[in-house]
Copies of this chain bind each other. A is one copy, B any other.
Amino acid sequence: MTKTGKKVIGVLGGCGPYAGLQLVKNIFDETLAGTDQEHIPVYLSSISPDITDRTQFLVKKDVDNPAYAIAGLIRQLEKAGADVVSIACNTSHAAAIYDVIEKELQQMSSRVKLLHIVDETVRYLKENYPYVDTVGILCSNGTYKTRLYESRLRDEGFTVVRPPETFQHNYIHQCVYDEIFGIKAQSAPVTSQAQECISKALSYFAKHQAGAVILGCTEFSLAIDKPFLKGMHIVDSVKVLARALIRDTYPEKLRKLPEAAIMVPAEDRFYQ
């Protein structure tokens, strides 16, 4: 709460810095507000140097678990007044990190509500596209290997299109991480090579009957802004998380989804 009694959203950013900004921007974009004063109170914590690399911890284990720093920073957001918090980073939601964050917060007697990006994305899928049963995921190798989205989706009865490891690496992971054409290296504008990788990946998911594709890595949102492509719904996990944070604080301020985000074009009905 602010000193004037208003609910506050806390965003744990810094992993990376731009992902934190993107979650905050999505919160503003998805809020019904005609004036500055109608916007929702937000704190952003972006203390990047203190948070070790998430993928490096998961894959090589040669750095400390970033969970300890993240939990401490979430506690700080709570002390500043945040009522609901989310971590603007898909990889930090892997069990090896997230479970430790939750345990640390419990030990600090934290009472903050923490929203989970994967839980919220799966919930969004089921609520808005109940006819979709097969899903593709655009994500980094870390999320692919830990099956972050995949396990949860399978638990909920979805069929998940899992591309072979070489395809995942060459056309999906590298689309973000390639040092020359990757989105982390060049995002304004995204390179034509990265766009081609995305196109190839989407075609792969469409060919395998996916009805929706989850953008499970922040960088993909910078390259894809259409709600429907190649017969599939595009579900941006950052936007979903922003909407969940608004729903949990000021539901009356949540912008309605545009028609295009939920309609299914006639020629694509066979995906239902």
List residues of chain A with CB under 8 Å of any chain B CB. Answer: 2-4, 6, 8, 14-18, 21, 24-25, 28, 35-53, 72, 76, 80
Q: How many copies does the complex hold?
A: 2
Residues of B within 8 A of A50 (CB): 2-4, 6, 41
> Mostly helix, strand, loop or mixed at chain A's interface?
mixed
B49 touches A42 (CB 8 A): no
Complex: A50 Cα to B2 Cα, angstroms = 9
Verify A53–B37 contact, CB threshold 8 A. yes
Q: Are B25 and A48 in contact (CB under 8 A)?
A: no
Known interface pairs A43-B44, A43-B46, A76-B80. Does A53 touch B35 (Cβ–Cβ under 8 Å)? yes
CB < 8 Å neighbour of A25 from B21, B40, B53: B21
- Contact status of A14 and B35, CB under 8 A, knowing A2-B47, A6-B50, A28-B21: no
Taking CB atoms, residues of chain B closer than 8 Å to A42 are: 17, 44, 46-47
Q: In angstroms, how far is the closest chain B Cβ from the Cβ of A253?
A: 11
Contacts of A39 in B (CB 8 A): 14, 16-17, 46, 48-49
User: Given A3-B72, A17-B28, A25-B21, do A46 and B35 touch, yes or no (CB 8 Å)?
Assistant: no
Contacts of A8 in B (CB 8 A): 47
